[in-house]
A and B are shown apart, each in its own frame.
Chain A
Amino acid sequence: MKQLMTGNEAVARGAWEAGVRVVSAYPGTPSTEITENAARYAEIYAEWSPNEKVALEVGIGASVAGGRALTAMKHVGVNVAADPLFTVAYTGVTGGLVLVSADDPGMHSSQNEQDNRHFGRAAKIPVLEPSDSQEAKDFTVAAFSLSEEYDTPVMLRITTRVAHSRSLVELGPRSERPLPPYVKDARKYVMIPAYARPRHAAVEARLTALRELAETTPLNRVEWGDKSVGIVTGGIAYQYVKETQPGASVLKLGLAFPLPRRKITEFAHSVERLYVAEELEDFWEGYLRAWGLPVRGKEIFPWTGELQPETVASALAAETDRPSSPPAPRPAAAADPPARPPVLCPGCPHRGLFYVLSKMRLTVAGDIGCYTLGCLEPLNALDTTICMGASIGAAIGMEKTRGPEFAQKLVAVIGDSTFIHSGITGLIDAVYNKTQTTLLILDNRTTGMTGHQDNPVTGRTLQGEKYREIDLTQLCRAVGVDRVTTVDPFDLKLMEQTLRAELAAAEPSVIIARRKCALIDREAARPPLAVDRDKCTGCFRCMRLGCPCLSRQEKKAVIAGQCVGCGLCSQVCVPGAIVSAGEAGETL
């Protein structure tokens, strides 16, 4: 019986079928649902780790202990996990170990679009790349066999389109794998120089063996067609090639690294014109060029963004006599319609805070989460966003460059989950190196942006079991911050007062802005508000909040949509025109 599954559901299913015991991850789009789905299988222990480095280390421990383990993260998460990755590449595995890197070409929800096939090559481990959900499941199972057979961690690289598209998957049973007896093997797993040197030699020998495997594995296959055009491709690009170039000869690389040189060379010599169709980097094309093969790739395909079927079609149509199969796009009826960027939700606790920061004209070092949306108009409240946890270090660097006076108008802003992920070390630096950093921890009791995962601050596990909450106040005090206060971000006046006091302090301080995310706070729903049209003067101060419920109508503000009665607009309304819907005498 086939089932419609996303790539992420299929990876989780593949892990289950492969007998995996441990799945560890830090949430990150587009990888999050792998772990959420894995947690539904009773045979799998699944956890949210505090960050990707810990997640991979948990996976490594499980493997050393003899169990199969899968660790999942988004592409930039691999940067965080790179330290253990490059050394587990030396130690190899006992139980199979698979690292899923979910890349985000097009940056649907990411700060960059790095191509993590480079990581596989740099760590000298095999990289598998599925093209749909069936392959996502099959390649996950295959990755575990490969991992154990070649004594190597394996990277399964997926992209947003594969992770979040649904296609049909044939389900299989779980193969139970009894734990082998635990055997201590320090020469394999203790990477002191004397033991690591022979392991490096083993890595090189392994890579040579994997290159041979690449020549024969069914993961790489030639689909012969018309030999006037041959296309080397893989991942989602394979689907666009098959869709738009029916009949062309295709070499599909399911093993994205290392490459089968003889197979590719033979294919190249069998076709008249040779192309490489790959998303983002010229990862494969570079090898073909180095081997002296007459290939065209990035001359016709973009370096940036997601491929689309029409980009593949038009690039190849311009090169060949083959008609481009989809018709040319029709011009839109009007000029570009206004964009619809995502916004902070109605009732979002971040909104009022950014309103205050914007009003006070502070320099704000930002971080990664829903609150990154505070950078958009009209709040326009962020100066920087680099990576998870970067806000505090960036604020320290700014202060050390421009001095204490500048620091009195400077704050770092970070979410609760991001603070646990990699903000704590920044805060330690702020104390240790004598700064006057003002840090705002936006504690909304969840990991919001990725869809409400629990984290150490909520004290609930991935399975929803309540255990110990990490107390942010105690944690900040423990690293040496004496000035720690907690404020409700809906109280705009108090927030502004607190900010003024803490910015003036010549030592590090932390303000915890604590209020539950509006999407999980069911108790907080209040009656919706409305504008009393007689009182509204049309000053539109309320519009500076960036609330999606507010809009302009005949020079007055109106409230429509999903108002949850958070009351921020009535706090900022000078004539007091915003009242509860009943009092305004309006029906909504």
Chain B
Amino acid sequence: MNNILIAGVGGQGTILAGRILAAVILEAGYDLKVSELHGMAQRGGSVVTQARWGERVFSPIVARGEADVILAFEKLEALRWLPWLRPGGQMLVNDQRIDPMPVVTGAAAYPEDIPALLMAADAAVTVCDGYALARRSGSPKAVNMVLLGLLSRHLEFPAAAWEDAIRQAGPEKYLPANLAAFRLGSAEQ
């Protein structure tokens, strides 16, 4: 059984990333369940897409301590979902900070140095500046494609399958930018 979480903040493009991942998994012939809660997706709340695949999948949600990979579009969300990572799992973190309202109002503090906190919990952590890479690819808005590229390095699926899925997911005019961003992300160490 394979378990992945894509965590982020409403409006960051996690849902589209989850759809592309799902298409890639299906193409490989697995049974698949994807769970996403999108009622608040445009309201800046925490959002997560959960994907589970294998021979036969029952639960559509990942249990704590079961995720093989967590792809976090934002640092605080990485910390929030850390307890879902399995021992030895991969935490892929976009180096972006988005203050939640309790931080904006001063009621809470944004934790300092989240990558260090993640590493202290013995997670295999990769931090990626998705925005810088997206800019470098010529499309600053394609951060989600950069991060999908990063994710693709940790999964078994061929690059062609990812690129086909990206081709089918979005409008033609964004395709070159999206593919460039994905390729840059997948080349990131």
Which chain A residues in 122-169 approach chain B with CB under 8 Å?
132, 160-161, 164-168
Closest chain A CB from B131 CB (angstroms): 12
Determine whether the beta carbon of A309 is less than 8 Å from that of B59: yes
Determine whether the beta carbon of B100 is less than 8 Å from that of A334: no
Please tell me which stretch of A279-287, A341-349, A393-401, A460-468 contacts chain B, meaning at least 4 of its Cβ atoms lie within 8 angstroms of it.
A341-349
Closest to B79 in A: A337
Q: Determine whether B87 belongs to the interface, using a CB cutoff of 8 Å to chain A.
A: yes
Determine whether the beta carbon of B33 is less than 8 Å from that of A165: yes
If A243-B59, A338-B108, A373-B43 touch, whether A330 touches B100 (CB-CB below 8 Å) is no
Determine whether the beta carbon of A337 is less than 8 Å from that of B37: no
Specify the main secondary structure of chain A where it touches its partner: loop
Q: Determine whether A494 belongs to the interface, using a CB cutoff of 8 Å to chain B.
A: no
Q: Which residues of B contact A449 (CB under 8 A)?
A: 39
Determine whether the beta carbon of A340 is less than 8 Å from that of B100: yes
Contacting A333 at CB < 8 Å: which of B65, B79, B101?
A: B79
Closest chain B CB from A456 CB (angstroms): 23
The total of chain B residues at the interface (CB under 8 A) is 57
Please tell me which stretch of B109-117, B147-155, B159-167 contacts chain A, meaning at least 4 of its Cβ atoms lie within 8 angstroms of it.
B109-117
Q: With A and B bound together, what is the CA distance between A160 and B45 in angstroms?
A: 17
Which chain B residues in 28-47 approach chain A with CB under 8 Å?
31-40, 42-46
Q: Determine whether A501 belongs to the interface, using a CB cutoff of 8 Å to chain B.
A: no
Contacting A552 at CB < 8 Å: which of B26, B77, B106, B118?
A: B106
Determine whether the beta carbon of B117 is less than 8 Å from that of A330: no
If A310-B64, A370-B43, A377-B101 touch, whether A166 touches B59 (CB-CB below 8 Å) is no
Contacting B44 at CB < 8 Å: which of A161, A342, A450?
A: A342
Best-surrounded residue of A328, A378, A519 (most CB of chain B within 10 A): A378
Q: Determine whether B188 belongs to the interface, using a CB cutoff of 8 Å to chain A.
A: no
Contacting A332 at CB < 8 Å: which of B9, B10, B43, B79?
A: B79
Q: With A and B bound together, what is the CA distance between A243 and B10 in angstroms?
A: 29
Q: Determine whether A293 belongs to the interface, using a CB cutoff of 8 Å to chain B.
A: no
Q: Determine whether A247 belongs to the interface, using a CB cutoff of 8 Å to chain B.
A: no
Closest chain A CB from B77 CB (angstroms): 8
Closest chain A CB from B83 CB (angstroms): 5
Determine whether the beta carbon of B83 is less than 8 Å from that of A329: yes
* Further pairs besides A242-B59, A340-B80: 14, Cβ < 8 Å: A108-B40, A164-B35, A165-B34, A167-B60, A168-B32, A309-B59, A326-B63, A332-B79, A338-B102, A340-B44, A342-B40, A376-B101, A377-B101, A543-B106
Residues of A within 8 A of B (CB): 4, 29-30, 108-109, 132, 160-161, 164-168, 236, 239-240, 242-244, 308-310, 313, 326-334, 337-345, 370, 373, 376-378, 449-451, 519, 540, 543, 546, 548, 550-552, 561-562
